[in-house]
Structure 1
Amino acid sequence: MSAELTLGAEEELHLIDLSTRRLSARAPQLLSRLPSDLYGAELQRTTVETNVPVVTNLSDLRREIVKLRRDLVDVAGQDGLGIAAAGTAPHSEFEDFELTATGRYGRMQEQYQMLVNEQLICGLQVHVGVADRDVAVQIAGRVAPVLPALLALSASSPYWNGQDTGYASIRSIIWQRWPSAGSTGPMADAAEYDTLVQDLIASGVIADAKMAYFDVRPSSHAPTLELRTCDATPIVDDAVLIAGLFRAAVRAAEQSIEEGRPYTPRAAPLHRAAMWQAARGGLSAELLDLAAHPSPLPAGIAIRQVLDTLRPQLEALGDWDDVNQLVDATLARGNSADRQRAAFEERGEIADVVDLVVRETHGPSGGASDGVAPLEGYRYRAGDEAVGPGLHPRPVYRELVPFFHALDGDAVRDLCRKRDSWTRDAGLGFVVDGEARGFGVDLFPRVITQHEWTGLEAGLTQRARAIEAFLQDAYGKRRVVADGVLREEQVVGATGWRDEATRLPAGTVRAPIQGFDLIRNGFGGWRVLEDNVRTPSGAAFAVTIRRMLDSVIPEAPRPHGLLDPSSVLSLIHETVLPDGGTGALLTEGPDSSAFFEHRTLAEGAGLLLVVADDLTVARGRVVARDTNRVIDSLYLRLDGELIDLASTDDPRLGESILDVAAQGDVFLANAPGNGLADDKAMYVAVPDLIAYYLEEKPLLESVPTYRTSDESERLSVLDRVGELVTKPVDGQGGRGVLIGPSANAAAVAERREDIARDPAGWVAQEVVTLSSHPTLLPSGLEPRHVDLRAFVYLTGIAPGESRLADLGLTRVAPEGSMVVNSSRGGGAKDTWIIGRTN
């Protein structure tokens, strides 16, 4: 073995004021009390760098890192400070930057300006001893394929400037802005490398060799090869793992050079893509494999591929057992980015994230146990809402998961029998093609935290107000067309347009009840998938499911602040009857697909439940036949159009009711013509409608959607039907939805033909993997994909005139599917929303 293969490391550590949880610029004061050979200054005064002495094995490396951290913690604690080993300090903001006062750093700030001022970042550098500098330069190119995996393991910087960036490692993205960062590309020897560095210095772009910030570089003053790719890691063992894998990769590369094996480097764009992918998703998405022409793999599998590839070197170095166990532990608990996001999810407080990072940095080398037993046997997948890496319940599920996991098969079967009996007696179900079907309900509830619900409330009420403003404008003056936001043909005559809707009085609230389908992706972000404005259904199911769960399994532990979904009933009454009087819910009767909901809502909201034969129009008012009672508001829950409604005695009843509504003498909730906003092609325009009508930016993102009526987008969609979700613009209940990656070639080809034949009839959306949630089965807990339907009730479009109901209908897809609609085999579960607890 010609390489020395010693180990060393440098850790950059943020200084955190423990009272404010902000960065502290007291590094110079602390360094005056610390040994200069072990601790040093960095570009920013908020950072201290530790210099780990050279060691020969991983155990000694672990010991030295822990000792340096402990000594720094002791000194920093005297000033009320802590340390945080993370790529970014979660609470850092641009104004926290203070330059360390040296001439070199001053020159850098003068030359690079904002690039220096944004460097509130900390990395981990690992040094491996390599005796021959020419070989070291060659090794630097050959280890490139493993670098994305090391970055993903280290990723600890999802938050920057106080916000979630969407990246697992934003530090690496910031770092790549340096002109000398990234890969050098293949180099033959040290002379070629030194010439490159001298050329960069001569160009004036960098000042000295220390600014050669390449991913891997040979030291200019020591016989080592330095890894500079990784974020600083709060848990020491993650740094030890990275050092072990990197050393093994160095040895593997050296052996391939000794044996004269040829090496074909990846193209530079592919390497950049692999590094970006690791920075974006960390361990929660996919990484590229080690092949010359790589394919994406789930991150955990890609990490184990690296481990297995390097096993011969790890065994020869005596590191296999340690590194293998460290890989298991890190993949089990997730990287720091995963844990930081989990900490934030519980209360929505960035301070909790800071506390976590500081606690882990100060803590034991392997991280502290949370004392919660893992959910053995559960099929964990990234994006599971209740179970995190390592099969540990997420914070808000720490009581629920053990409760349901402890139920044996007989207990679950007994609960299921009680559930089925209860739902059958309650008549919980729906009608499809004239056939009554029961409604499948899972007994494991979903929990949505208070801060998540607050964010959804702001985003959904904003969206509902913009949609209502659009409907009033579309059937009125159509300013949205006159001002060029939408074309005339996108409004008048578009899918869902109804000429008779133009007759309603100006200012009439047209969509007082709106439903929204949301998904939560693997990174925890909420997206609006669809708007339901014509006749949104599901509120009664949410109310009834809670009643069922309270009856069947009252002992399930409930969180403090749990909202009551039945409060929606009074909200419906207030919305349908804003001015009081008598209201009625108009249905087509027991054969209607959602008659259970119609009956439940009418009874609970204090509305008459009527069909066409129960109504007549007399003296310019809508009247209940049996009592001659004047109906002031009609909540329309018709499968067809109101204008086509006929009774036994009046074939023009619908037209007559519209005449009364046109005079302002009956309020229609929801009004005819609202299908214009149900058009899935109109979904694409909602962000523009928010900007136009409200002069605001959307608070909730939409799923990327393509209009196939647009020629340029259609051509792209036709090429990618097998990669996208395509659906008809007027589809309901999952009808006509094709999930491209799950479809066979014949179905994809047929969909291409459908789109080419009727471009205006379709839209396409990017595939977004729905989050998953445990489902209770006699065999145990199993993950299923879920979405959420939420409801906003409006009495106007002004701020404060819209409210998000205290309920959500969580819909559950069947095993192996992402389609949650009940008509396609989906079910539902209770949704536990935690409200304000103050």
Structure 2
Amino acid sequence: MSTAARVTRELQIGAEEEFHVVDLESRRTTPEVDTLLSQLDGEEFAPELQRSLVETNTPVCDTLDDLRAHLQRLRGRLASAAGPLGLGVVAAGTVPLVDLDGGDISAGARFAHMQHEYQVLVNEQHICGAQIHVDVPDRDEAVQVVRRVAPHLPTLLAISASSPYWRGSDTGYASYRDLIWARWPTAGPPPMMETGADYDGMIQDLIDSGTISDPGMVYFDVRPSAHVPTVELRICDACPEVDFVVLIAGLFRALVRRARLECAQGAPLPEIRHELLRAATWRAARSGLEGDLVNPAGSALMSPVLLIGQLVDSLRPHLEALGDFEQVLELSQMALGRGSAAARQRRRFGLRGELTDVVDGLLAATQGSSLPFDKAPSIVRAPKLLDDYEVAGFDEAVSEEGNVLPQYGWMFRTLSRMGINGMKAAEKALHTEQRARGVTFRVDDEPERLFPLDLLPRIITADDWAGLTAGLTQRVRALEAFLRDVYGERHIIADGVVPASVVDDAPGRTHLGKLVPDDAVRIAVAGIDLVRDRPDHWMVLEDNLRVPSGMAYSIMSRRLIRSAMPDLEPPTGVVPLEDVPRRLRSALLSAVDQDRAGYDEVALLSAGTVDSAFFEHKLLADRMGVPVVTPRDLQVTDDGVFLIGEGGRTRLSALYRRIDELELMESAGADLRPIGRALGNAVRRGNVALLNGFGNGVADDKLTYAYVPEMIHYYLDEKPILDNVPTYPCVDSERRAEVLDRLDELVLKPVNGYGGKGIVIGPHASQQERDEVAAAIRAEPAMWVAQDMVSLSTHPTFTKGHLEPRAVDLRVFALQSRRGSGTDVDVLPAALTRVAPAHSMIVNSSRGGGAKDTWVLK
């Protein structure tokens, strides 16, 4: 029999679960374990240190299905015995309602000694964990397995995190139990030893020192068991749902299998910095599945979706050998989709602000049932936070009468509990986190500054999002057809739908656009700006088809806000963003022939650190697993485009362009010669895909924008789903005359303007400003458009210690992937709400605007 087959056969598994005993009337823990155990028999049930805790032990199991069945059986027996006594059992790291009087310790000399020796540590042990045992045949191998699996323990803690509340308060942690547990002298990451003799010698030294009284008091996060031939996982919170226990057991067993095979093969032991492992454990306890975790392969932060996805992928051979892969994969996706038990408790608390609701949810989840979320009232009376909040027009969260709208009720209940001082503290924490992560931007030659991010997320309902997705998909398809047409046969011009001057005089038109192959995707990434003036009416404000920015700021904003305000969880959850980088990379790769060697060698092309959005370039590239390159890193030859690095040359299949087209044309390559023309020829020959393509600017200036509805009719034979803001091209003499007559009513925009530059808002402008823009329109009418004044919706924004309404827009990103002769459009949930300064409607960060996290509801 092979070593792998023998190891697989030997890997039986078992679990111990700890439960809180709760009084069903008060929902508080109660010291009634002796009464409960009197109704149960057998070795499967046992008391714990506190008399409000009970433990179950499964038999040894061969499969995860067997383990699940026993976990459910034991929970069922506990509940059946507890119910008639007016008791319930809760599987969670902590229960929100608990009294620490110190006098409810279970009987026995060992427990009495612990209370005498450890004092307050014992009084605080109203915490529950889940332990998993996996077979390991001897002590030496067990010690080495412990060392090999240790880097992955924080990930398992994050999956289990279920203890956000302690003694009636939100701790800000997903697993506060871990912090309480870590106070014991022998808790935390395991020691980095190599032999059983060394390990047992350490235990004897601890006993001799009086620190512990027996080997059972070694509480490391993973350890060789003190009484059976197993390795025991101890880091995890008790999990309300059996599925999470089974997932952790499946991952841990696969980790043990891999470690045992590495031992058999003589693979070197991993070098682990103990302090970094402690830090990773703290981060997992803080974040759960709602924040970044520490990558065990280094010290960088990584999203749970990527980290757990990579862990499952790396363990696939071992999971398959154990027959667990499909089940573990499905459970891991379920866990990431639902989020941690800590987050679910906060969502329930947010509905009414009642901790008894949290306990009810835990009681139900422990028994495999669920309680529907209580419906929030249709109207929430205005809290004191809104005493001086003045609504003018359509506000997305507050009615004209000053009441909070239904979808924001949970948010304002949470904010009211925090109060202004709590929000100030959260804002300070937000800025600290931004500085730590380098979330900055730069305007022109100014120094870098923090990206202006507001505390209060904006909510987009599922119905709104469905309409936006359909409308933006339609719009991007029409714009793609227009670009292919105007750099080709120009049918839309010949048929008189769009005037030739609109295309020929467009500032973004360039001969380079003709170098893009006919079947190439020209708009790989679109950033479409939208506004609304009433609840049921969205309008497109602008199309950005060259190098639209903001996607990474949207992704990072979610992390930052959740870190600053961990209890701010919507009751129905939000569409996660962790999958966005993978979807972006997939769209980029669709542009190349995947049968070609090296098809997945993709890079993000940037101007480098001088670019105001370099933070975004770096984050997107890191999340996609591709390098950031500048023109100086590239060499273009007749054979292709090559990345020049220390390891030699790497041929690139695609470049995601995040550098201005003109700047790229003028930049020098690795050979110090201008790279632009050579790169254009490489694109034309199909040696490299450039995304977004050259020449996209012809389709996204403010004059072309006026004709997008006609493009939709012409190319798609469909009625536009999303309206344009009514727009008047000044190049048209009749429209120009109307514009000049209505300067005090309209918004005037230069066709080639960006970032809010050059815009004149007629009703807010002085007579001198209106006279100057009139002269500019008469001098160059083709360079100006006018639009009707739209009252942008407002949203509560925390500024200078209070809430005030600020105008907002919404930038939504849509990807196009090549599919055969056509394209697929993927509208991403990574939308960025941009916020105007006070008394302004210009949202651009370069003009003093900020941003909000945007939560698309499921």
TM-score (normalizing by structure 2): 0.53
Question: Paired residue for 1:771?
Answer: 793
Q: Output aligned runs, 1:658-673, within 5 Å.
A: 658-673=680-695
Question: Paired residue for 2:330?
Answer: none
Q: Contact 1:582/1:632 (CA < 8 Å) preserved in 2?
A: yes
**Which deviations, in whole Å up to 9, do the C-alpha atoms of 1:137-183 show, x marking residues without a partner?**
xxxxxxxxxxxxxxxxxxxxxxxxxxxxxxxxxxxxxxxxxxxxxxx
Question: Paired residue for 2:748?
Answer: 726
Q: Contact 1:386/1:401 (CA < 8 Å) preserved in 2?
A: no
Q: Contact 1:513/1:533 (CA < 8 Å) preserved in 2?
A: yes
2:714 matches 1:703: no
Aligned match of 1:554 in 555, 562, 566? 566
Deviates more, 1:378-387 or 1:748-757: 378-387
Structure-2 separation of matches of 1:649 and 1:800: 36
Question: Paired residue for 2:539?
Answer: 527
- Aligned residue for 2:619, secondary structure, equals helix
Q: Output aligned runs, 1:381-400, within 5 Å.
A: 381-400=392-411
2:394 matches 1:373: no
Structure-2 separation of matches of 1:421 and 1:373: 33
- Aligned residue for 1:792, secondary structure, equals strand
Question: Paired residue for 2:665?
Answer: 643
Aligned match of 1:818 in 832, 841, 846? 841
Deviation at 1:485, TM superposition (A): 1.6
Deviation at 1:757, TM superposition (A): 0.9
CA RMSD of aligned residues (A): 1.8
Unpaired segments ≥5 residues, structure 1: 1-367
Aligned match of 2:652 in 619, 623, 631? 631
Structure-1 separation of matches of 2:536 and 2:467: 13
**Which deviations, in whole Å up to 9, do the C-alpha atoms of 1:108-154 show, x marking residues without a partner?**
xxxxxxxxxxxxxxxxxxxxxxxxxxxxxxxxxxxxxxxxxxxxxxx
2:456 matches 1:451: no
Q: Contact 2:414/2:567 (CA < 8 Å) preserved in 1?
A: no
Structure-2 separation of matches of 1:710 and 1:416: 49
2:709 matches 1:687: yes
- Aligned residue for 1:680, secondary structure, equals coil
2:830 matches 1:807: yes
Q: Contact 1:404/1:776 (CA < 8 Å) preserved in 2?
A: no
Deviation at 1:799, TM superposition (A): 7.9
Question: Paired residue for 2:851?
Answer: 828
**Which deviations, in whole Å up to 9, do the C-alpha atoms of 1:209-254 show, x marking residues without a partner?**
xxxxxxxxxxxxxxxxxxxxxxxxxxxxxxxxxxxxxxxxxxxxxx
Deviation at 1:391, TM superposition (A): 1.8
Question: Paired residue for 2:132?
Answer: none
Deviates more, 1:452-461 or 1:646-655: 646-655
Structure-2 separation of matches of 1:539 and 1:593: 14
- Aligned residue for 1:735, secondary structure, equals coil
- Aligned residue for 1:396, secondary structure, equals helix
Deviation at 1:524, TM superposition (A): 3.6
2:805 matches 1:783: yes
Deviation at 1:653, TM superposition (A): 1.3
Structure-2 separation of matches of 1:517 and 1:652: 34
Structure-1 separation of matches of 2:439 and 2:722: 32
Q: Contact 1:385/1:772 (CA < 8 Å) preserved in 2?
A: yes
Aligned match of 2:776 in 751, 754, 775? 754
Structure-1 separation of matches of 2:436 and 2:657: 27
Q: Contact 1:563/1:832 (CA < 8 Å) preserved in 2?
A: yes
Q: Contact 1:617/1:657 (CA < 8 Å) preserved in 2?
A: yes
Deviation at 1:373, TM superposition (A): 2.4
Question: Paired residue for 1:417?
Answer: 428
CA gap of 1:521–1:796, structure 2 versus 1, over 3 A, is: farther
Structure-2 separation of matches of 1:372 and 1:648: 62
Structure-1 separation of matches of 2:533 and 2:456: 20
CA gap of 1:769–1:405, structure 2 versus 1, over 3 A, is: farther
CA gap of 1:369–1:634, structure 2 versus 1, over 3 A, is: closer
Q: Contact 1:448/1:834 (CA < 8 Å) preserved in 2?
A: yes
Structure-2 separation of matches of 1:552 and 1:609: 29
Question: Paired residue for 1:506?
Answer: 518
Aligned match of 2:550 in 531, 538, 552? 538
Aligned match of 2:484 in 469, 472, 476? 472
**Which deviations, in whole Å up to 9, do the C-alpha atoms of 1:686-707 show, x marking residues without a partner?**
0011111111110000100010
Q: Contact 2:524/2:588 (CA < 8 Å) preserved in 1?
A: yes
**Which deviations, in whole Å up to 9, do the C-alpha atoms of 1:469-505 show, x marking residues without a partner?**
1101111121112222223222234221011211221
Q: Contact 1:472/1:508 (CA < 8 Å) preserved in 2?
A: no
Structure-1 separation of matches of 2:436 and 2:760: 36
Structure-2 separation of matches of 1:717 and 1:472: 32
Deviation at 1:431, TM superposition (A): 1.7
TM-score (normalizing by structure 1): 0.54
Q: Quick one: which amino acid aligns to residue 460 of structure 1?
A: L
Q: Contact 1:567/1:806 (CA < 8 Å) preserved in 2?
A: no
Structure-2 separation of matches of 1:725 and 1:391: 30
2:429 matches 1:426: no
Deviation at 1:402, TM superposition (A): 2.3
Q: Output aligned runs, 1:174-573, within 5 Å.
A: 370=378, 372-376=380-384, 377=387, 378-435=389-446, 436-573=448-585
Structure-2 separation of matches of 1:431 and 1:464: 29
Unpaired segments ≥5 residues, structure 2: 1-375
- Aligned residue for 1:443, secondary structure, equals coil
Structure-1 separation of matches of 2:534 and 2:679: 48
**Which deviations, in whole Å up to 9, do the C-alpha atoms of 1:705-754 show, x marking residues without a partner?**
01001111011111111211111111111111111111111111111111
Q: Contact 2:540/2:724 (CA < 8 Å) preserved in 1?
A: yes
Question: Paired residue for 1:594?
Answer: 613
- Aligned residue for 1:417, secondary structure, equals helix
Q: Contact 1:405/1:781 (CA < 8 Å) preserved in 2?
A: no
Question: Paired residue for 2:603?
Answer: 584
Structure-2 separation of matches of 1:427 and 1:503: 38
Q: Quick one: which amino acid aligns to residue 374 of structure 1?
A: A
Q: Contact 1:404/1:444 (CA < 8 Å) preserved in 2?
A: no
- Aligned residue for 2:677, secondary structure, equals helix
Q: Quick one: which amino acid aligns to residue 527 of structure 1?
A: M
Question: Paired residue for 1:656?
Answer: 678
Deviates more, 1:706-715 or 1:647-656: 647-656
Q: Contact 1:412/1:777 (CA < 8 Å) preserved in 2?
A: no
- Aligned residue for 1:457, secondary structure, equals helix
Structure-2 separation of matches of 1:473 and 1:644: 27
- Aligned residue for 2:442, secondary structure, equals strand
Structure-2 separation of matches of 1:369 and 1:804: 32
Deviation at 1:427, TM superposition (A): 1.4
CA gap of 1:554–1:712, structure 2 versus 1, over 3 A, is: same
Structure-2 separation of matches of 1:796 and 1:464: 13
- Aligned residue for 1:469, secondary structure, equals helix
Q: Quick one: which amino acid aligns to residue 569 of structure 1?
A: P
Structure-1 separation of matches of 2:470 and 2:855: 19
CA gap of 1:500–1:391, structure 2 versus 1, over 3 A, is: same
Deviation at 1:371, TM superposition (A): 6.8
Q: Contact 1:734/1:821 (CA < 8 Å) preserved in 2?
A: yes
2:651 matches 1:611: no
Question: Paired residue for 2:641?
Answer: 622
Structure-2 separation of matches of 1:672 and 1:506: 13
- Aligned residue for 1:709, secondary structure, equals coil
Deviation at 1:382, TM superposition (A): 2.8
| Number of corresponding residues | 468
Structure-2 separation of matches of 1:507 and 1:712: 39
Q: Contact 2:377/2:406 (CA < 8 Å) preserved in 1?
A: no
